[in-house]
Structure 1
Amino acid sequence: MQSESKQLTSLEKMMGREHAQAICYSGYRDGQNPRLGIYPSYAEIKEDLLLLKNWSYLRVYDCSQHAETVLEVIKKENLNFVLMLGVDIAAEVSNPNCPWGADFSEEQLDQNRQANDEDIERLVALSRRYPEYVCSVSIGNEASVDWTDHMVPVERLVEFAKRIKSKIDVPVTFCENYVPWTNKLAPLVAELDFISIHTYPVWEYQSIENALEYTKQNYYSVQHCHPDVPIVITEAGWTTQSNGCGIEKWNASDALQAEYYQQLLSWTNSEKILTFVFEAFDEPWKGSDDPQEPEKHWGLFYVDRRPKLVLQNT
């Protein structure tokens, strides 16, 4: 308990505010797509953030125009948010273990390395422009887990962390599935201010009956390996639709999302574990063209900004 108490105090000090609600935010609506450079407008992001007023921490995934507009809205509208800023790093090595393919030419990998270096510099620049609103930065997202299509070697992640810390005084983390934290990411942990884990029982064929216990096991497995390092959950949630690809159709619904959300928050609020719920709004641009693709349906709000069942009783 003493170790956990010290972690909490340290984390709160780093983040600049006490334990509060957190959510992943990506504001892409119908017809918008970051891969095509079609971003939400200032007015659309303002509308979103006003809907999210019950949360204090936001997490965004990159340093694109989307992230810049989010910070602009928070500042100009005097909204009570702080932001975890990220970088959308691309593959620097091919990964034969990726189920949907991640084999790249050396030319493409060289281009990706250059783009990643440029993204790190954008992260630094944006953090300097909005220091009062950026509470932490992440050097990447799911770039070391064995199934990723954007694998980046651990030594490069270490390099990114060191480079950022030499340029800005902002807590640095890396957002990743819980498994790599228990083995291959040990060299990176030494360079980070805190660990950020992802836990998705529904992707691992867990039912709602044991979902929370599975989430706890994921969290405590990482804590066991790194007992003196603060741990944040940067993604945890439940999809409301599935076409059966990766998640059974029966295991995706508004009711199951609402139940898992309530269980998750009851535990994490009790234990003061900062948890970014995945996610604010449904995102139709993600995944396959199948409208029931599970990647599209993790939002607590539908894409038209109507609240799902999970929010109707809160």
Structure 2
Amino acid sequence: MTRISLHIIYFCFGIVLFSCNDSDKKNKGNILPVKKEKNVTAKDILGNPEYLAISYGGYREVTRDSQPTIQQLKNDMKILSAMGIKVLRTYNVQLDHAPNLLRAISELKAEESEFEMYVMLGAWIDCLNAWTDQAPNHDVESPNNAGEIGRAVALANKYPDIVKVLAVGNEAMVKWATSYYVQPNVILKWVNHLQDLKRSGKLSKDLWITSSDDFASWGGGDTLYHNEDLEQLIKVVDYISMHTYPYHNTHYNPEFWVVPENETDLPGIEKINAAMKRAIDFSKKQYDSVSNYVKSLGVNKPIHIGETGWASVSNGHYGPNGSKATDEYKQGLYYKQIREWTNNSNISCFYFEAFNEKWKDAHNPKGSENHFGLFTVDGQAKYPIWDLVDKGVFDGLTRNGNAISKTYNGEYKSLMVDVFVPPTAEEIMSHR
């Protein structure tokens, strides 16, 4: 072969090689980047202040027969996401609300690559004859519980990228829940069942299982709750989800709430601020009581707050003729302080709740249960989050067709007209 022939061959080879490389570059430029799903687990979320949590119900009407639409749920998710919420708690899978919520979140994730929202999915647990005209049998569980657990499992498997926690029951062991409470062995049975499903690969091993109940139900109160079944339950849950409500205790256990003698000469606003500081201390004490009981069993397990909150309206025990605990100013102090404490302590707090829900006390519009939301039903932001409205985080977002605005037209003086100073011990007794 001549030298000229070799030059020709090398030249042609170079052209082919260059063409291939150039073609590869062009093709690489046309390949769409693959969206990488975040592999976020309950362990990553719980106790992480970057993942603020809240209890959520999207009901707008006085009955749950009227279910929120997928679009309404999406609108709510955008509002909550804008304020930094990334974890929601739901309560049952008997109705369409939870399945529709999971669908709404899934669709939002498909529509917006950066959208991030996770769910602590609740399965409601009842005793036999709960919510009927027959006497509840607290020693026997409802036959409906098996179906509820089955539905929760199916949803957790359908939406593993969203459902990160399954909670067996809501305040299902506390004895003041006289309409439906069960014994701890019922909760233990279903938690063991779910843990068995994880071990057999029928549920994600990363899914955390708990029960969400009053601090007393977790051993932090009366010793009548201390028994072998509760001890076993504490050992088999992945973490403990406890409730604490100083708000309700302003009526039932008001010692921390009343104005002490050494504060009687303080200005009204200082009395209020001091009382709200004592309210946070009350929650801390309940948290510590659960923690101490768990440790006494030789168990070292995460403890998070599954529920706590403060209502803004009440015409009952907590209103102007009762403990005088209820208004948006106090709600604002409680929300700020509970977030500050739990975030700094790496405790997840599923604040109760996102939006007012009118069905909770349908026959009494001013009943406190209807007014725990940080937003009104029509999308007005209450005092705890007025600052977020000022920052424009809700710009362009709506609820029920309404732009997000402030309650009281944002007028602090108008808000304070409805604010009452906590009573003295004598005043509390006079209302009983």
TM-score, normalised on structure 1?
Answer: 0.87
- Give the direction of change, closer, same or farther, for the CA distance of 1:106–1:268 in structure 2 (3 Å limit): closer
Q: 1:7 aligns to what?
A: none
Residues 140-289 of structure 1: pairs in structure 2 closer than 5 A: 140-148=169-177, 149-167=179-197, 168-169=203-204, 170-182=207-219, 183-184=225-226, 185-205=230-250, 206=257, 207-227=275-295, 228-245=300-317, 248=322, 250-287=324-361, 289=363
Hey, what does 1:29 align to over in structure 2? 60
Q: Which has the higher contact order (CA 8 A, sep 6+)?
A: 1
2: distance between equivalents of 1:68 and 1:284? 21
Structure 1 residues 13 and 127: CA distance shift in structure 2, 3 A? closer
1:83-120 deviation digits (Å, cap 9, x = unpaired): 000012222377xxxxxx9973479998x622111000
* Alpha-carbon distance in 2 for matches of 1:160, 1:131: 20
Is 2:332 the counterpart of 1:302?
Answer: no
Is structure 2 residue 118 aligned with structure 1 residue 82?
yes
Q: Is structure 2 residue 91 aligned with structure 1 residue 61?
A: yes
Letter in structure 1 aligned against 2:363: D
Distance 1:106 1:179 in 2: 21
RMSD across aligned C-alpha pairs, in angstroms?
A: 2.3
Unaligned runs of 5+ in 1: 1-11, 95-100
Count matched residues.
293
CA contact 1:241–1:249 (8 Å) conserved in 2: no
Cα displacement string for residues 142-200 of structure 1 (whole angstroms, at most 9, x for unaligned residues): 01111002111211111110112222232100000101211433231122000001111
Distance 1:255 1:106 in 2: 39
SS at match of 2:165: strand
- 1:51 has 2:71 as partner: no
Q: For residues 216 and 42 of structure 1, what CA distance do their matches in structure 2 show?
A: 38
- On the 8 A contact 2:54/2:349 being kept in 1, the answer is yes
Larger Rg: 2
When residues 104 and 48 of structure 1 are mapped into structure 2, their CA distance, relative to the original with a 3 A threshold, is: same
Matching residue's letter, 2:369:
E
Deviation at 1:208, TM superposition (A): 1.9
Deviation (angstroms), 1:13: 5.9
Say whether the 8 Å CA contact 2:309–2:351 is kept in structure 1.
yes
Match of 1:292 in 2: 366
Q: Give the partner amino acid of 2:60.
A: R
Name the residue aligned to 1:119. Answer: 148
Q: Give, in whole Å, the separation in 1 of the partners of 2:238 and 2:128.
A: 24
In the TM superposition, what whole-angstrom CA distance separates every residue of 1:121-148 from its partner, at most 9, and x where no partner exists?
Answer: 0010110100111110100100111100
Is the contact made by 2:355 and 2:377 (CA closer than 8 Å) also made in structure 1?
Answer: yes
Cα distance, 1:45 vs. partner?
0.4
8 A Cα contact 2:117 2:162, kept in partner: yes
**Letter of the aligned partner of 1:154 in structure 2?**
P
The within-5 A match list for 1:86-125 is 86-92=122-128, 104-105=134-135, 113-125=142-154
Confirm or deny: 8 A CA contact 1:240 1:253 kept in the other structure: yes
